[in-house]
Chain A
Amino acid sequence: MNKKRWKGKALVFLLMAAVLALTLFPVWWIVNISLKTADQALTMPPKLIFRPTLENYKEVLFGAAQNASGRWVPTTKGFLKQAGNSICICLTATGIALAAGVPAAYALSKFSFKRKQDISFFILSTRFMPPIVVVIPLFLLYRQLGLMDTKVGMIILYTFISLSLVIWMMKGFFDEIPQELTESARVDGCTQLGALFKVAIPITKQGISATAILTLIGIWNEFLFAVIFTSKNAKTVTLSVMGYVTIREVAWANMAAAGILITIPVLFFTILTQKHLVQGLTAGAVKG
């Protein structure tokens, strides 16, 4: 009996190690490549012991005018500019989506009114929409309005696709606030607006930040719209990894470095809010 239990435990640990290895191996490999020189990066068998260099990161961030070793280096100086575009677009679109979405989520959570089911389902259904579906109509519209390749155009687009996520998540967080709390605020003489801003929002601060972060990440990572609607001025940071693929070669080491630079902020925020990330989305399902 005891031996059997011991065996079971060993098996569990073995499986845990296997899961971790499978999950992390690709990440570890790419981090390695990003820290190698371009010549070392792809040699097989791989050099496991090497002197790490930050050269690839430097080239990504500041361009690579210096061509010291005679090696051809792609000069995509745009990384910082694209990162700036992304930050600007992300923050503005998330801000607007929160401003519009939080009160709506509150209304759906705390009040009953005519056709509430229909309204809820409509909002939810905008989440079902595969992004490719909106591309062709918007392509037509944006070309006519001169919104192609503009930050404003991207902000409008991302606000629309984020709104349903914000409402969905925030409704989940508001549902967890006891009805009595907002009602007693009303009895105390608070206006409806007051109950929202002075009671409900402060209580669910963590929920709001989780929602904001998930929205920011979604926009930061977005690719389809960025490919179609930006070309030069409003290019976002996700597109920069493609800058290292050219007809002559793929600068894998630079690409790896760029990919890691793009991922670092997302990783930071994901770890920061991991507890609350799924909470709003699954509020109806997970209690407690």
Chain B
Amino acid sequence: MKKPSDNTAPGRSGWAERHYLALFLAPSLILLLAFAGYITISLIYLSLCSWNVSSPAPVFTGMGNYVSIVRDMSFWKSLGRTCIYLIATVTGEVVTGFITAWLFNRKLRGIRILRTLILIPMAITPVVAGMFWKVMYNTSYGPINYFLSLAGIKGPAWIASGRTAFLSVLVVNIWQWMPFSFLTITAGLASLPTDVYEAARIDGASSMQILFRVTIPMLKQVLLTLVLLRSIEALKAYDLVYIMTSGGPGEATQLLPFYIYTKGFTWFDFGAAAAMSLILLVIANNLFKLFINKTGVKVFYE
């Protein structure tokens, strides 16, 4: 199998062999530590600086940015909106993904093609998906309101109305990422042992009982991992808001990442944007740490 020269292993006592762990880990760790370190330190520094239109270079001012953020209702509202968005989109994605996986988890001719078709939305570039749905939602040439009008219903303005915009963006995100949940849960279902089902059925369990007492408990780890992965992404939400609504109308779809962007690159208040970035970073870190510790999800590290 191996060349004889390998058996003599000339490098066994070499530097690389003695320090193999350092050799394997160092490149990644050095890169990531440098990156995360720079980001964190400069966020802390910049958040304590005034750096905006009136002071074009960062000037140390202390807690000023934080004081104004605490008083800024737009900040609290976008933070609240981000929480609602996270909970709603993750729930929506996982529930619809689960139902779809359950529906398509049967032996049929051509089922593999159907399963592949469902993955299509996930493969669309998020910005492009946002653009597509802008057409869908359009009030004068969008198909949704056209079909509603055929049924005699006057559709709402969707992304152009403060009452429906948030929900409309949410629907697009769920539409796009339901396939990911579907794919993950389908893989999970396939890995379950079949004898448990047979035993449950022999014991006379109904299909609902099997679903809630057998399938879901056995998929617990898969579902928790899925919730974690999708929550991480939900907290990053930016593309759809940017392309579909620019946070509007008013502030109806302004999620925290987009608000930070606006603060920095529309109002050029980099100090405040840095302070809000740091707050978001701390929230993200602690939220997911808490989730991992509380749920015991077996993710990444044993």
Question: What is A's interface to B at a CB cutoff of 8 Å?
Answer: 12, 15-16, 19-20, 22-27, 29-30, 33, 42-46, 99-101, 103-104, 106-108, 111, 113, 116-117, 119-141, 159-160, 163-164, 167-168, 171-172, 188-194, 196, 198, 217, 220-221, 223-224, 227-228, 238, 241-242, 252, 255-256, 259, 262-263, 266-267, 270-271, 274-275, 277-279, 281-282, 284-288
In the complex the two chains form, what is the Cα distance from A221 to B2 in whole Å?
Answer: 42
Minimum CB distance partner of A33 in chain B: B135
Across the interface, B118 reaches (CB within 8 A) one of A23, A133, A194, namely: A23
Binds A, one of B67-75, B151-159, B208-216, B234-242: B234-242
Question: Which residues of chain B come closer than 8 Å to A46, judged between CB atoms?
Answer: 143, 146
Minimum CB distance partner of A171 in chain B: B300
Minimum CB distance partner of B188 in chain A: A286
- Which secondary structure characterizes the binding site on chain A? helix
Q: Are B175 and A26 in contact (CB under 8 A)?
A: yes
Question: Which residues of chain B come closer than 8 Å to A171, judged between CB atoms?
Answer: 300
24 example contacts (A-B, Cβ-Cβ < 8 A) are as follows: A26-B121, A43-B141, A100-B28, A104-B25, A104-B28, A106-B24, A124-B301, A133-B39, A133-B280, A141-B42, A163-B28, A164-B32, A191-B11, A191-B17, A192-B17, A194-B11, A238-B125, A259-B132, A267-B124, A274-B116, A278-B184, A279-B187, A284-B297, A286-B221
User: Taking each of B16, B38, B179, B183, which has the highest tally of chain A beta carbons within 10 Å of its own beta carbon?
Assistant: B183
B197 at the interface (CB under 8 A from A): no
Shortest beta-carbon distance from A177 to chain B in Å? 15
In the complex the two chains form, what is the Cα distance from A250 to B24 in whole Å?
Answer: 51
In the complex the two chains form, what is the Cα distance from A217 to B125 in whole Å?
Answer: 9
Q: Are B225 and A284 in contact (CB under 8 A)?
A: yes
Q: A101-B28, A282-B184 are in contact. List 13 more A-B contacts (CB 8 A).
A: A23-B121, A26-B175, A107-B20, A131-B257, A132-B236, A132-B261, A133-B39, A136-B46, A136-B274, A256-B132, A271-B123, A277-B183, A282-B222
Q: Are B31 and A23 in contact (CB under 8 A)?
A: no
Q: Are A189 and B6 in contact (CB under 8 A)?
A: yes
Shortest beta-carbon distance from B101 to chain A in Å? 10
In the complex the two chains form, what is the Cα distance from A128 to B292 in whole Å?
Answer: 12
Question: Which residues of chain B come closer than 8 Å to A163, judged between CB atoms?
Answer: 28, 31-32
By the criterion of a CB under 8 Å from any partner CB, how many residues of chain B are at the interface? 101
In the complex the two chains form, what is the Cα distance from A106 to B23 in whole Å?
Answer: 11
B88 at the interface (CB under 8 A from A): no
Shortest beta-carbon distance from A192 to chain B in Å? 4
Q: Are B16 and A191 in contact (CB under 8 A)?
A: yes
Q: Are A20 and B117 in contact (CB under 8 A)?
A: yes
Shortest beta-carbon distance from A193 to chain B in Å? 6
Q: Are A278 and B135 in contact (CB under 8 A)?
A: no
In the complex the two chains form, what is the Cα distance from A226 to B293 in whole Å?
Answer: 35
Q: Are A196 and B24 in contact (CB under 8 A)?
A: yes
Question: Which residues of chain B come closer than 8 Å to A106, judged between CB atoms?
Answer: 24
Q: Are B236 and A124 in contact (CB under 8 A)?
A: no
Question: Which residues of chain B come closer than 8 Å to A271, judged between CB atoms?
Answer: 116, 119, 123
Q: Considering the complex, which residues of chain B in the window 96-135 have a beta carbon less than 8 Å from any beta carbon of chain A? A: 99-100, 103-104, 106, 114, 116-128, 131-133, 135
Q: Are A282 and B131 in contact (CB under 8 A)?
A: no
Shortest beta-carbon distance from B274 to chain A in Å? 5
Q: Are A24 and B117 in contact (CB under 8 A)?
A: yes
Question: Which residues of chain A come closer than 8 Å to B124, judged between CB atoms?
Answer: 27, 259, 263, 266-267
Question: Which residues of chain A come closer than 8 Å to B239, judged between CB atoms?
Answer: 223-224
Q: Are A100 and B280 in contact (CB under 8 A)?
A: no
In the complex the two chains form, what is the Cα distance from A256 to B175 in whole Å?
Answer: 18
Minimum CB distance partner of B9 in chain A: A189
Shortest beta-carbon distance from A54 to chain B in Å? 19
Minimum CB distance partner of A124 in chain B: B300
In the complex the two chains form, what is the Cα distance from A89 to B170 in whole Å?
Answer: 31
Shortest beta-carbon distance from B152 to chain A in Å? 15
B264 at the interface (CB under 8 A from A): yes
User: Taking each of B11, B16, B125, B280, which has the highest tally of chain A beta carbons within 10 Å of its own beta carbon?
Assistant: B125
In the complex the two chains form, what is the Cα distance from A211 to B12 in whole Å?
Answer: 31
